Structure formats: structure tokens, C-alpha cells
Amino acid sequence: MALDPSLLSRFKIDSRLRSNITYWHVTPPRVASYADFPENIHPDLIKALKGRGITQLYSHQAVAIDSVAKGENVVITTPTASGKTLCYNLPVLDAILKDRSTRALYLFPTKALAQDQLDELLSLTGALDPPVRVYAYDGDTPQDIRKMVRTNGNIVLTNPDMLHTGILPHHTKWIKLFQSLRFVVIDELHQYRGVFGSHAANVFRRLRRIARFYGSEPQFIMCSATISNPSELAEAMSGKKATVISESGAPSGERHFVFYNPPLVDRELGIRRSCLLEAKNIASVLGRGGAKTIVFARSRLTTELLLTYIKESLEKGVLPDITVRGYRGGYLPRERREIERGLRDGSVKVVVATNALELGIDIGDMDAAVMAGYPGTIASTWQQAGRAGRSCSPSVAFLVASSSPLDQYVVTHPDYFFGKNPENALVNPNNPYIMWDHVKCAAFELPFEKGERFEDVDVSPALTHLAEQGILHEAEGRYYWMAESFPAESISLRSASSENFVVIDITEASSPRVIGEVDRASAPLLIHDDAIYIHEAQQYHIEKLDWQEKKAYARRVNVDYYTDANLAVDLRVIHLNETNVHPTYQAAWGGVSIVARATIFKKIRLHTHENIGYGTITLPEEQLHTDAFWFALDPAIEKSMAPTSLQSGLQAVANLVANAAPLFVMCDPKDIGVAPQLKSPFSGAPTVFVYETYPGGTGLSQKLYQLHESVLSAAYNMAKNCECLAGCPSCVGPAEEVGVEGKKAAIAILEALTGK
Amino acid sequence: MSPGVLKWETAWLTEGPSSKVLLRRGSLEAPHLGIGKRLRGYLASFDERLRNFDESRLLLLDLETTGLCGGTGTIPFLAGILVPDGARSRWQLTQYFLVTPAGEKQFLEALAPLLAGASAIVSFNGKRFDWPVLLSRYVLNKMCPPVDDPPHIDLLYPARRLWSKALQSVALQNLEERVLGFRRRFDIPSALVPSYYQMFLASRQLGVMYPVFAHNVQDIFSMLLLAMRLSESFDGEYACLSELELAGLARACKRAGMDAERLDCLRNLVERNVFEILPYVELAKYCEHKAKDYATAISLVKRALRLAPGNVELQKRLHRLQRKSESWARGASHNNH
């Protein structure tokens, strides 16, 4: 079933809906720009491609193939569904057909994606004779075929985690692969950012070290969503400069992209109607109109809320029931597979999901995507929107803004969104905590020579230290692994996944059961004593959080509120990396030490979102050494303001900067925190600190420091262009948090900082 | 019970200070194995080269390593090797000890001709652990492995066939106590072996290693005794075996496709009037489908039914056999006319 055009016009006719649309973007159909196959491509491959209906290449594919042929590392950043996979499959298969000993390693961020790509690749290689041997190698690969994959696979599809624990530490078994490793393909490169990206960059350092040992120097071919710094990220992963290919030659059908800003319900407070309720309305209109619709919510919590609302709206209507399902992390794999099947065979019409469904998991073509809240990055937004209408049928994506500042900035600045993507995907491969772990893994894999560098890093202090601990043994200028442990096994590439807390439902005392998992960082905020935890649209009251055992005991309840917790932060500067003096402020970045503690939580009524009570949280404080970006105000600004308005202004500016940062660095809001200090012990002046919540930092602070003029300017625009009177959640934060003077003071401070 | 070493000699692998491998050599008195036709047949069902290997060039191998989880960071620092000595009833035991990890090339070079010259390697769990670990060391030192895939007798597998039903675990020490009938004294647990080597590297006191040397000798002796015991079990008198062993042997023969030997085991079990119904049923199946001897099959199933009166499967089988038997009898009488 395709999208009914009259359904779209309803949004234009209905005056209530229409008035909330701030921008309606139509991407006109684009004509393809073709190129012939390069002349020296193996004829069997051209035959196989023609057999699948590929008779010529898009221009960007030809450029990519040409660059690969020149031996360059390449990163392709053309849009979703522009045929990026052919950019690597073609040169790799061509090389294999010309030399059967050629090997390639393909990396996908998840097992599910590797499986999808395996199917696609097999349909192409099936026509080749003798066949090119392509296998997936991951945790699910049966033991009895692993040896065959290791010795015979021309192309091995895997994920960074498997490379880290299953392949590199056993590289001698993979000698055939490493001796002839010509290509390493990294798909979804933009996913390799933050903690995961910083780990992965080190895994690739280890990969190159092992490849060099066997005398091979693989070429890297990478694909990424559109970001601002593809070449920087590609270089961090591949260790070398990479050629960026961004100009797409692929055709595309007509695409509607609608920015929808829920109406203000309180102009003075800047409060808008809930984006969840608006998204529910839009999804219900689409669902009733017969469109297969995917609704993206931003968190597990909002996924569950939306699921409840949409179920109420669609499953109890006059029309026959429309099946609505939820989909998010924390559901069991079996449940997930069942929902994916339902979407493909059409028995599920509407699905409410977190970004777990954003990547290429096969759910068939959807007609419409509704995003309840901005997904956090432009790259992610395009990927979520891309789940609808992949097959060139007309499609529509709705971005429903929440009151959050990022959302408000995006829906009111369409140029930011539809212009050149300003987002940076950042990693910090030299994060000491992360790199240290991988130096250990590398030492296990192959003894370090004295004076050997870990790519460009001098690791001799680390090696000496490990030798002192008896983990390494130094003999005749080499460091031998001497511990009994297997280091890769205890190191997870994904942040602290082994540290998850489980939530146990004890409503039936006789049969307690695990209903979900919560990561360590979120636990103090989501499952503290007396929190309301929501799972599958069911509310649970947390009776007891056992911090030691990482367990929370919950009981099913039915209440009309949810809970929201606060974090208190104490920050000290440990060292300064770079600083830079401006007329009205001094900017810097460096290392900081932080003590954080969850203090209180608020009870907030459902639907109206009013505050109906408080509670205290008693949990141990968390210590953290990390990186931060900060700026200290010139005394002149301080003198020009009353102390109380300076205090609320500083909090308001801190909030604004935290809100604006994700516009430029791709991170989750939870990856950064802010700490305004009225008189910082370090600078002696009013100072705003923006710190990273991951130990050692993942490169955000340095980039924020580099881009701070743009960040401050965006923060200023956020406050200045907001329609509220004295602060609201969309800009500086609600007046009850930053004070009635907060917004005015923040604008004054930012005017002084930016010279506006 | 364990055979004693006659005398020990200790020497450096090569003359002079460059030697990084210490050799401990001893000989012991014990009969040669004389692996018989049935065990060879069983082994050959997994690797045909094991049907006719030359027993005088057998090599028993056991490694002690810096870790037990495998991977390229696991270094074997002690290789115990036992080979038959030319003279009858003599074996020669050699331990190669890596005094520093920097001597690994020497260590591997010394082992290479032995491994390459062996007609078969005997180990306990060596297929999954010792052999891949050793191979990976050659690759890691950029040396050509002396032999890629030698004939390999991993005693763990036949031991599992024979004794896993009777024993909780077929770990070597458990087999020693429950099958071979002795208990180690003054031994260190395997799990502690890596830490002894770490202590040695830190202290350079060779004395630290003696418990590990002894442990390795014990392991190798036990492998030799286990090999003897397996050889006897497969090729000796069935009367010497317990019911469980005999049943295990029948399973092993079934897996290896050795039907005649399997039937021998089953008949022997049935003759012993065992309480387990399986041998009766297995033999009955053979009589029914292969030998077409319905009368014997019926009597076997009846004996099984006496042991398990309510067993529906058996009753069905009995009825089917009786039908077949009658129709066969009719057919026979018909043919007579």
C-alpha cells in the first residue's frame, strides 16, 4: 500500500494542523547522473551486476571506484539509499576475481546489519563462478563452520566487538586472512563516535598492527551519513588521510519533510503542547488513513508513553483494530524478531520505536515517519526519515518539535537543518582509560618491542608500568604477556554495558521476573527508590534500589504522575590544555575532576506535566575524571550586573550552551553536563564549565573549545529568538529553575561575550 | 602404581650462555602400548592415518602454559615429551623448559624435528588446547610449523565414550582416581601452574619450578597409563570390563561404524543379564532389521519387558515383531506349498 496523496493534503487543509507547520520542505525528484563501468573491471562481475539490473554506475560510485583503484582510503557520504554498498562491493569483488587469494574484512556496528548485508552480497556473488566465499563471523556463527570461515572466507562480515574479542586475539588462526588482507570496509562510520568510536579507533590500530605483522597494509573504504568532519573521523579510524566522496549521482523520488511545532499553550511561560500528544494525533491521522507509519520517540520512557496514547487512540476506534506495537532496547530479542516480522508482513501497521529501529534492520517500506521530538542529530533525523519511502514511492516525514531548545532551534532554523551539515562526529582514541585497555590487548596479541609505538603514540610508560605489575615480562627488548587473563574479554567497546542494572518485577511475590535493564549512569536518575519506571506502557513503582547488587525491585502501579531526578555537581580543574583570551572572556579546555550526586526527584503529573511533589534520593556519590570546556567572564561583565541576576544568568547561559552544543558535536544530551560557578577557584571569575560525562573524555571538549564562537552565537540566538517572556524549557530553562531574571541576564551576558 | 623414573639428567639445550632452554631427561620402565586392531579401528574412523601408524615413533605431548584461555598471549613454557625407547619396555621422557620467553624460537626449533618425526601425537585434550597453542607459537615466531595436521590421538575423546556415563567428570585427575586407581600426592592444581612460572621469572630461582616439572611428569605418566587402559578396554577380554564400560564401548563402536565389535559388546551385556534395557533393544533392532532373526528379537524384547513392564515402546515393538514373525512364517509355509 502506498501513501495516499489526499492524506497529505489533509494536513494542508485542516487549519488547526496547518497553523502549526513551520516549514514544509519538498525535495523534488532528482535525475540520476550515470557513468560507465571502468574499463578494467572483471567481465564476470559486470555480467553478474547486469544480471541484477545494474547496467551502469551512478557518478559517485564511479568516482569512489576510481579512488580505490588509485590506492586511496575513501569515505563515501552520499545520502541514504544512494547505492553506497556498491562503492565497496565492486572494487572488493573485482580484486577477488582477479586474485583469488584476496581477502576483505567488512565491519558493521551491529550483528543485524551484517546479516542484512550478507544477504545482499550473497545475491550478487551467487552469479559468480567459481563463487566468491562470503561469510558472516559473529557470536552466532556455529563452532563447526568457524574454521572454514577463517581459512576460506574471501569476505568476512563482522562487527568491531567480534574483531576485538574473537579475531585479533586469535590472529594466528586467521593467518590466511591477514596475509592477504587488502580491504577493510567500515559501514555506518558516523556511528563510530563517542566512547564506542574511541574504542573502535583503537581496535583498528590493533588490526593494522597485526596486518603489518603478516606483511599486509589494507586499504580502508568507509561509508558514513552526512556529517561535517567525515575526513577527520575517517582518518581517526583508518590511520591515514581519506578521500571524501559526497556528491551523489543517485536519483530520488519526491519527498515531503514537515516541521511541526506544537502550539504555545502558555505564551508567558513559553510552554507548548506536548510533542507526544501532537505526534499521537499526527500518527493517528496517518494510521487511520492507511499509511504504514513508524513513530520515533527519543527515549524508552517516551516510547512507552506514546505507545499507550496511540494504542488508546487507534485500537479502540470505530474502524477495525489497527495493530500498534512498541520496539526499543530492553525488549527481549524474541519479542523484537516477532515485531520485525509483523512489520514486514503488514500485520503491524504502526510501530512506536526508539532509534533501535533507525539502522538498516529490515522492516520493509514504511509510508510515513513521525518523529516525536528531534532525534538529536541531523544525521539521525535523515536516517529515521529515510525509514519511510526507501523504494521511491512518495513519502512523508514529520518532525514534531518538543519544547526542548534543540528542537525549537531546529524547527525555527530550517537553514541549519537543510543546509550544509555542521555536525561533528568525534572520537578520542587517546583517551587514557580507553587506550590503556587496548595497549593491553595489543600486548596480548603480539609482544611490543622496546621503543615500538602504538601507531603514533609513545606507549613506553604504559609498558613499563604493566611490566612492574607483572602483567608483562620484559626480556631482551620485548614485552611478553604474562597474565593468565584474556584482556579483551573484560573490555567492552560499548560504554559500560556490563555495568547494567536490572529491574525486577515483584508484584507477584512468588514469581519475580526481570522486566528490563538500565545503564549505570542512568540508574540514579531512573530507578532510585520511589521512582516511577515505565515498561511496555506499564508503570512500576521502584520499592528498593540495591546499588551493590545492581538490582531494582519494582511493583506494578497505576498512578497519574511520572518522576524526574536532579543531579548535584562539584567540579575542579586538574590541568589546562589550551586557552585563549578574548576581549570579554577567556575560553579553555582541559582535564577536570567531578563529584556528582543525585539529590532530589520531582513528581510530574501526566498530560498536564505540572509539578506535584518532591522526594530525596540517597545514593553514593560518583567520582569522575574527564575533560571539560569552559569560559570565564571578564570582571567588567561581573561588575555590570547585580549578584543575583549574575547567578541566574550564569545558570541560564550554562543551560543554553549545553543545549546548543549538540548542534555542533554529535552527542547525546547525557554525554555532557554543565557546572556554572559564580567564583571559580580556578579562574577566580564567574565561569561556565561544560564537561563530558565519560571518564577521560571522547573529544567533545576540544571541539567545543575550537567551535566555541559558533556555540555561543547559537546559544544567543536560542534565547533571543524564543517567544517566551522570562525563560522556558525551550531556551534558558524554566523560570522556576533559573529565576525570573535568568533569561534577561543570559542575553546580556551572551551579548557581551559575542559582541552582538 | 605410577611407573618410576630411573634417573634424571639436566642440561642446557645448547652449550654456552646463549641457551635459553633447559632440558630434563629421564627414562622409565613401562611396557609398550601395543595398540590393537579395535582401538586402531575406532581411531581410524576419525582419521584414517591412525589405522596403521608405527607405534615405535609415537609421541606423548603435554604442555604447561602461561594461561588456560588460549589466544596468542598464551605461551607454552614447558613441553613434556614421552617417546618409546628403542629397547623393550623402556620410554624416554624429555622436558623442554623455556627459561625466558625470549628463547621461544630455540624452544620451538628444538621441538620441531620431534613433532615432524612422530608417527602420531598422543595428548589429553590436545586437539582443542595444546596443539593449536603450539601451532600458533610457530606462526607468531614467523616459523614454518613442523607439521600442519599430524595424526593426533586425543585420549579425552575415547575416555569420554567409555567413562562419561559412569563418572561425573572425565578430567584427567578424576580418571586417575576412578579408572586408573591412584591418587596424586604432593601435586599442585593445574590452575596454579601459570603463577609458578610468574614467580620463577620474577625470582629466577629454578627451584620454584620443580612442583611444575613434577606435575607435568605426572600428567604424562597418567596419559601413558590411560592409553594402556584404553588399549586394554578396546582390545582385551570383555569379561574384564564393567557393564557401564562395555555399554560405553558399544556406543564408541556405534559411532565409529564398527558393527561387528558393537554386536559383540551388546551380546556380552545381554549374557550378563544387565538391568539396563538398552542392550536388549539395540540387539533386538539388529536381529529384526539386519539378521531378520525374529525369534531371537522377540525373546530379547520379552526380556527387556520383564525389566520394564509398562514400557509402551517395547510393547509396540513386540507386537510388530510378532506380526512380522507370523507373516514370515505364513510366507515360508506358502513357499513350501
Q: Which residues of B touch A443 (CB under 8 A)?
A: 73
Query: Is residue A322 helix, strand or coil?
Result: coil
Residues B104 and B56 in one domain: yes
Chain B residues in contact with A481 (beta carbon < 8 A): 66, 73, 75
B68 contacts A172? CB cut-off 8 A: no
* Distance from the B295 Cα atom to the nearest Cα atom in chain A, whole angstroms: 44
| Average confidence (pLDDT) over A577-588 | 95
Q: Chain B: nearest CA to A444, how far in angstroms? A: 4
On chain B, the residues whose CB falls within 8 A of the CB of A170 are 70-72, 136
Q: Are residues B34 and B180 in the same domain?
A: yes
Side-chain half-sphere CA neighbours of B42 within 13 A? 27
Would you say residue B243 lies in a domain? no
Rounded CA-CA distance A374/A380 in Å is 9
Q: Which residues of A touch B75 (CB under 8 A)?
A: 480-482
User: Is pLDDT at A694 greater than 50 in this prediction?
Assistant: yes
Q: Is residue B250 part of a domain?
A: no
Residue from A445, A482, A489 whose CB has the most chain B CBs within 10 Å, to mutate:
A482
Cα–Cα separations (whole angstroms), residue A75 to A85, A375, B156: 12, 24, 51
Question: Which residues from A are below 8 Å from B194, CB to CB?
Answer: 484
Distance from CA of B193 to the nearest CA of A (A): 10
pLDDT digits (tens, 9 = 90+) for A504-540: 999 998 888 888 888 777 788 889 999 998 776 678 9
User: What is the least distance, in Å, from the CA of B314 to any CA of chain A?
Assistant: 36
Cα dist. A116→A93, A107, A385 in Å? 18, 12, 20
Which chain B residues are Cβ-neighbours of A209 within 8 angstroms?
none
Domain assignment of residue B72, given as a range: 5-235
Residue type, A240: K
CA nearest to B198 within chain A: A482
Tell me which of A58-72, A719-733, B280-294 is least confident: A719-733
Residues of chain A contacting B67 with CB distance shorter than 8 Å: 483-486
pLDDT at A270: 66
**Other beta carbons less than 10 A from residue A55's beta carbon:** 11
Residues of chain A positioned with their CB less than 8 A from the CB of B69 = 484-486, 489
Does residue B283 lie within any of the structural domains? yes
Chain A residues near residue B140 by CB distance under 8 angstroms: 172, 446
What distance in Å separates the CA atoms of residue A420 and residue B63, rounded to the nearest whole number? 62
Query: Between chains, do A485 and B100 touch, taking CB under 8 Å as contact?
Result: no
Chain-chain contact of B101 with A445 (C-beta, under 8 angstroms):
no
Cis status of the peptide bond prior to A620, with omega within 30 of 0 = no
Lowest mean pLDDT: which of A323-332, A555-564, B57-66? Answer: A323-332
Classify residue B261: in a domain, yes or no.
Answer: no
Q: What is the pLDDT of residue B2?
A: 47
Test A169 with B139 for CB contact under 8 angstroms. Answer: no
- Average of per-residue pLDDT across A80-87: 85
Query: Which residue among A173, A447, A482 sits closest to B198, beta carbon to beta carbon?
Result: A482
pTM: 0.85
Instruction: Give the gap in angstroms from C-alpha A486 to the nearest C-alpha of chain B.
Output: 7
Contacts of B100 in chain A (CB under 8 A): 475-476
* Disruptive mutation site among B135, B139, B196, B199 for chain A (greatest number of A CBs within 10 Å): B139
Q: What is the CATH number of the domain that holds B188?
A: 3.30.420.10
Residue B242 inside a domain? The answer is no
Tell me the average pLDDT of chain A.
Answer: 88
pLDDT tens digit sequence for A603-658 = 988 766 678 899 999 998 888 899 999 999 999 998 899 888 999 999 999 999 99
Nearest CB to B101; choose among A170, A480, A483: A480
Looking at per-residue pLDDT, the higher value among A267 and A109 belongs to A109
Query: What is the number of CB-based contacts under 8 A between chain A and chain B?
Result: 66
Asked if B67 and A478 come within 8 Å (Cβ–Cβ), the reply is no
Contacts of A482 in chain B (CB under 8 A): 66, 75, 101, 197-198, 201
β partners of residue A372: A297, A400
Number of domains in chain B: 2
pLDDT exceeds 80 at position A267: no
Nearest CA in chain B to A485: B67
Domain end, chosen from B235, B261, B291, is at B235
ipTM: 0.88
Contact by Cβ (8 Å): A347, A363: no
Secondary structure element (H or E) that encloses residue A432, with its range: helix A432-445
Shared domain for B211 and B282, answered yes or no, is no
The answer to whether residue B255 is domain-embedded is no
B66 vs A443, A446, A482: nearest CB:
A482
User: A368-413: per-residue pLDDT in tens?
Assistant: 999 999 988 888 898 888 887 655 678 899 999 987 778 888 998 8
Q: How confident is the model at residue A318 (pLDDT cuts 50, 70, 90)?
A: low
Query: Tell me, what's the pLDDT at A358?
Result: 66
pLDDT at residue A178, rounded to an integer:
97
Q: Which residues of B touch A (CB under 8 A)?
A: 66-73, 75, 100-102, 132, 135-136, 139-140, 194-195, 197-198, 201-202
Name the minimum distance, in Å, from the CA of A476 to any CA of chain B.
Answer: 6
* B109 plus B214 within the same structural domain: yes
Strands (E), chain B: 5-12, 21-29, 58-65, 76-84, 90-98, 120-123, 152-154
What is d(CA A382, CA A423) in angstroms, rounded to the nearest whole number?
Answer: 13
C-alpha cell at B15: 652449550
- With cell 518532525, the residue in question is A399
pLDDT at site A348? 85
Q: Does residue B152 share a domain with residue B86?
A: yes
Write out chain A residues lying below 8 Å of B200, CB-based.
none
Same domain, B230 and B307: no
Residue A498 has pLDDT above 70, yes or no: no
The nearest alpha carbon in chain B to A441 belongs to: B73
Distances (CA, A) of A470 to A464, A618, B80, B313, B321: 10, 40, 26, 63, 71
Chain A residues in contact with B77 by the CB 8 A cut-off are none
CB environment A19-35: b (16+ within 10 A), e (fewer) = ebebbbeeeeeeeeeeb
Last residue of a domain, one of B235, B262, B288: B235
What's the pLDDT score for residue B1? Answer: 39
B320 and B215 inside one domain: no
B154: closest CA of chain A, how far (Å): 18
User: What digits encode the pLDDT tens for the residues A404-448?
Assistant: 778 888 998 888 899 888 889 999 999 998 999 999 999 999 999
Best residue in A469, A481, A489, A491 to probe B by mutation, most B CBs within 10 Å? A481
Let me know whether B284 and B167 are in one domain: no
Is residue A497 scored above 50 in pLDDT? Answer: no
Is-contact B230 B155, C-beta < 8 A? yes
Q: Quick one: B60 and B133 in the same domain? A: yes
Same-domain check for residues B321 and B182: no
B194 vs chain A: nearest CA distance in angstroms? 7
> Residue A475 and residue B100: Cβ atoms within 8 Å?
yes
3-state secondary structure of A155: strand
- Quote the pLDDT of residue A656: 93
Strands A103-107 and A155-158: parallel
Which residues of chain A lie closer than 8 angstroms to B201, CB-CB?
Answer: 473, 482
Helix (H) or strand (E) holding A481: strand A478-481
Nearest-angstrom CA–CA distance, B254 and A108: 45
Contact criterion met (CB < 8 Å) for B102 and A476:
yes
**Quick one: pLDDT at residue A222?**
97
Low-confidence ranges of chain B (pLDDT < 50): 1-2
Same domain, B25 and B135: yes
Work out the minimum CA distance from A96 to partner chain B, whole angstroms.
Answer: 25
Structural domain includes residue B182: yes
CB contact (8 A) between residue A470 and residue B202:
yes
Mutate to test the interface with B, among A173, A484, A485 (most CBs of B within 10 A): A484
Q: Please list the residues that pair with A258 across neighbouring strands.
A: A24, A398
Q: What is the pLDDT of residues A46-55, one digit of tens each?
A: 999 999 889 9
**A484·B194 Cβ contact <8 A:** yes
A74 or A4: which leads in pLDDT: A74
- Residue A496, pLDDT > 70, answer no
Kindly list the residues from chain A whose CB atom is less than 8 angstroms away from the CB atom of residue B136.
170, 172-173
Q: Is the pLDDT of residue A671 over 80?
A: yes
Residue B254 falls inside a structural domain: no
Q: Are residues B114 and B39 in the same domain?
A: yes
Q: What is the pLDDT of residues B105-151, one digit of tens each?
A: 999 999 999 999 999 999 999 999 999 999 999 999 999 999 989 99
Among chain B residues, the shortest Cα distance to A173 is held by B136
Helix axes B243-256, B37-44, angle to 10 degrees: 50
